[in-house]
Structure 1
């Protein structure tokens, strides 16, 4: 679904950190595969990727498309979630993965462009592959969101 359109956030603050989700991995082939790495191919000026993680949607209240890293959003604290990125992520044949990839990004100034073009590295049948998937996360500076207690 994420690869079918843009994800956006118009309340970013300079110096703040956010989580941007990559598309949920799906394996449409008839053989299992192992994802070894995933990242945004294009990171615009004004954003810096601090780290990539792989987390389990069953442990993070589902697949998070975009979230603040300030602890006030009410979503799972992704810094405390188990990080599965240190090992290959198995995706069974003809199914999706419960584990998805996220990027922790910091806003360093006005953002010019979008986080785009998600690239996945994977292994299948002892061969290494890369696949680029369309994705776009638009982050813009704007007034901060005021959370109710």
Structure 2
């Protein structure tokens, strides 16, 4: 996923893969991160939100964009481990918040999840990728 209409200084949100527990034991997700963040993007933080509160999964959205949830007013479930029952998909999804500091040199990719299960800690890295291209800005014309 991506956008070709980003601008330097903008803040964007993108969803990490929705956690799915395929095992027979519950898990608790303790931390998430994007492993490869290219030059030109700065990670501002991560949040965890209920799919019902956002009326679906916002894959990629510009902060304060049209039809965008106001994440500042929603409950952020990332303040404690997110539990996912055995054999289910989570109702909670994770979101990365990034600021464009310069035209990005590459895509952001590789989403890492840290979790606990049965008293042991694990990590798993899943494929994910987002490309934010800075739109060419027209320079103002001068009149003589």
Q: Give the TM-score normalised by structure 1.
A: 0.88
Taking the aligned partners of 2:37 and 2:85, their CA distance within structure 1 comes to: 30
Gaps of 5+ in 1: 1-6, 145-149
1:14-33 to 2 correspondence within 5 Å?
A: 14-33=8-27
Once superposed, what is the RMSD of the aligned Cα atoms? 1.2
Report whether the alignment pairs 1:133 with 2:132. Answer: no
Report whether the alignment pairs 1:58 with 2:28. Answer: no
- The structure with the largest alpha-carbon Rg is 2
Aligned length: 137
Within the candidate set 70, 77, 82, 1:89 is matched to: 82
1:143 positional shift:
6.1
1:79 positional shift:
2.2
Q: Residues 16 and 106 of structure 1 are in contact (CA less than 8 Å); yes or no, is this contact kept in structure 2?
A: yes
Gaps of 5+ in 2: 138-144
1:63 positional shift:
1.4
Taking the aligned partners of 1:43 and 1:94, their CA distance within structure 2 comes to: 31
Aligned to 1:106: 99
Taking the aligned partners of 2:16 and 2:65, their CA distance within structure 1 comes to: 22
